[in-house]
Homo-oligomer: A and B are copies of this chain.
């Protein structure tokens, strides 16, 4: 069992053929066991980082694994473990604003791990999200799932995942229950930052285009903004407060109303970038200069912020980092929430000091 180390210099890829293995097929745990002169169980222990392996044995097996380029088959492990090596991103396909960022955090968090990212979009208009998700989890047995907002607002989700024994984290604006699975997006404090920012610029007559009451993120943004404004001694006049659905069209109507007001606001905060884009458009249509005559702030710091003219000042939300931490929590030990930055106002060109 003193190893007859197969001279395998250079080409150690999974394709390479070593004695005792069938050509063309990737190595299996049996190949490694045979070549290392141990049982497959011992190889399994090495793979799974069990402490119950003699240091010397471990090193020999590890070296072999590295040389051969052996990678345990996730499908076989999945069957044996009773759970796949997948982390699911579950979202509402009718509300995908945050998906690109979350996905980026997820995919890069998974890079180099044994896990892969699997997608499940529920069409909340045509199917019941809960049973769709139940079916997905039962069927794919993901190692863990991330519930993206606003899907994550569904209160039943925690119990469902619990019942199915599936690790999960809900990314959401406010906690819906006492479960520890929530990671908060800090929409409230992000919106509060905007209040501070606009006041510091000298604005007092401030307009607000709120998101839909039905969404937790919108409620949080509204509360954070209005409360902080109140703290600074600023009230948003009733006629300067409209609400929309985070979307462009409704916000365009609302913005037009605000801007047509004889004593129109000197600054407008829109609770989403898409709505802020609508403010820009309304202003342009009415011949009102931004930021010359009215300042505009959005929320999300999405890709469009820098593409608009003027480039949009917006709240950067650390969604990507949050997704990264969610992954750590799901596949590793703990998440380090200190690694997640706070939301902050990213200044571009759409605001000016009064």
The answer to whether the Cβ of A44 comes within 8 Å of any Cβ in the partner chain is: no
**Docked pose: A134 CA to B14 CA in angstroms:** 9
The answer to whether the Cβ of A203 comes within 8 Å of any Cβ in the partner chain is: no
| 12 pairs from A and B in contact (CB 8 Å cutoff) | A13-B131, A13-B135, A71-B139, A73-B79, A75-B75, A93-B104, A100-B100, A274-B307, A278-B307, A280-B309, A284-B310, A285-B309
- How many residues of A are counted as interface, with CB atoms below 8 angstroms from the partner's CB atoms? 54
The answer to whether the Cβ of A154 comes within 8 Å of any Cβ in the partner chain is: no
Given contacts A13-B131, A93-B107, 20 further A-B contacts (CB under 8 A): A5-B135, A5-B139, A13-B134, A71-B139, A73-B79, A73-B139, A73-B141, A74-B139, A74-B140, A75-B84, A86-B116, A93-B104, A108-B123, A116-B119, A248-B306, A277-B307, A281-B307, A304-B304, A307-B308, A308-B309
Asked if B123 contacts A111 (CB within 8 A), the reply is yes
CB distance from A307 to the nearest CB of B (A): 4
Contacting residues, chain B, for A47 (C-beta < 8 A): none
The answer to whether the Cβ of A138 comes within 8 Å of any Cβ in the partner chain is: yes
- Chain B residue nearest in CB terms to A276: B307
Asked if B117 contacts A119 (CB within 8 A), the reply is yes
The answer to whether the Cβ of A120 comes within 8 Å of any Cβ in the partner chain is: yes
CB distance from A290 to the nearest CB of B (A): 10
Asked if B304 contacts A281 (CB within 8 A), the reply is no
The answer to whether the Cβ of A121 comes within 8 Å of any Cβ in the partner chain is: yes
Q: Which of A14, A108, A139, A284 has the most CB of B within 10 A?
A: A139
CB distance from A249 to the nearest CB of B (A): 9
Contact among B108, B121, B141, B303 with A107 in the assembled complex (CB-CB below 8 Å):
B121
Q: Which of A76, A84, A116, A274 has the most CB of B within 10 A?
A: A116
**Docked pose: A108 CA to B248 CA in angstroms:** 24
Asked if B117 contacts A118 (CB within 8 A), the reply is yes
Contacting residues, chain B, for A140 (C-beta < 8 A): 74, 116
A50-107 contacts to B, CB under 8 A, are 71, 73-76, 78-79, 84, 86, 93, 96, 99-100, 103-104, 107
Given the interface pairs A75-B75, A107-B119, A140-B116, the reply to whether A135 lies near B8 with Cβ below 8 Å is yes
A105-138 CB mask vs B (1 if < 8 Å, else 0) is: 0011001000011111101000000010011101
